[in-house]
Amino acid sequence: MISRFRSSAAAHPCCLAAPALCRLRASEINITRRRRETGFTLVELIVVLAIIGLSLAIAVPLIARHSGGAALNAAASEIRAALGQARSTAIVEDRTVVFQGDPGGGYWLDRNHFTLPLMAGAPPLRVATVGGPRISFFPSGGSSGGRIVVSSGGDQREIAVNTLTGRADDVR
């Protein structure tokens, strides 16, 4: 114990007069050293980065599988909106408007071609009409009726067009 006071007395001359104060100062010095030495070691950082890397390696393929379904839903939604617009145009302009699917990933609406957007990494989209090569919308609000199949990879969405009302709805 005496050697401890002597070594601290060399650093602090007041420790000879009041050894209790010297102990307090030594503990204050240790606390400030600990505050300066806070942080993470290199090993801790590498372990955390490895865990993040592994979780991303597992999550990215799962997310990529679901992005194809999202692209398919978006394409079906766009086609449903285009069918509604075709029906409205037929009624307002008092003329027949024709919809035709394009197996290359789009559709024809009144001699205008529209391409469906593709998501990166998703399989290509195909649009086909079932029950005839095209669906016509009449000025009365009705249509020739039919079904439209939007497919991508092994998944598909189907849209039915009602003959009497010309309304386009998802087939569940």
Closest CA to 149 of 101, 90, 81: 101
Fold (topology level) of 71-170:
minor pseudopilin epsh fold (3.55.40)
Closest CA to 75 of 148, 144, 167, 142: 148
C-beta atoms surrounding 61 within 10 Å: 8
Confidence (pLDDT) at 70: 77
pTM of the shown model: 0.61
Confidence (pLDDT) at 9: 45
Residue 166 · residue 116 · CB < 8 Å: no
Confidence (pLDDT) at 22: 61
DSSP string, 111-132: TEEEEPP--TTSPPEEEEEESS
Residue 144 per-residue DSSP state: -
The domain ranges of the chain are: 9-36, 71-170
- Cα–Cα dist 109/30, whole Å: 79
Averaged in consecutive runs of 10 residues, what is the pLDDT profile of the chain (172 residues)? 49 61 62 68 94 90 69 88 93 94 87 82 82 90 92 87 91 78
CA–CA distance from 144 to each of 1, 71, 117, 150 (Å)? 103, 28, 27, 19
The SS3 call for residue 109 is strand
DSSP string, 27-66: HHHHHHHHHHT-S--HHHHHHHHHHHHHHHHHHHHHHHHH
The SS3 call for residue 70 is helix
Confidence (pLDDT) at 30: 63
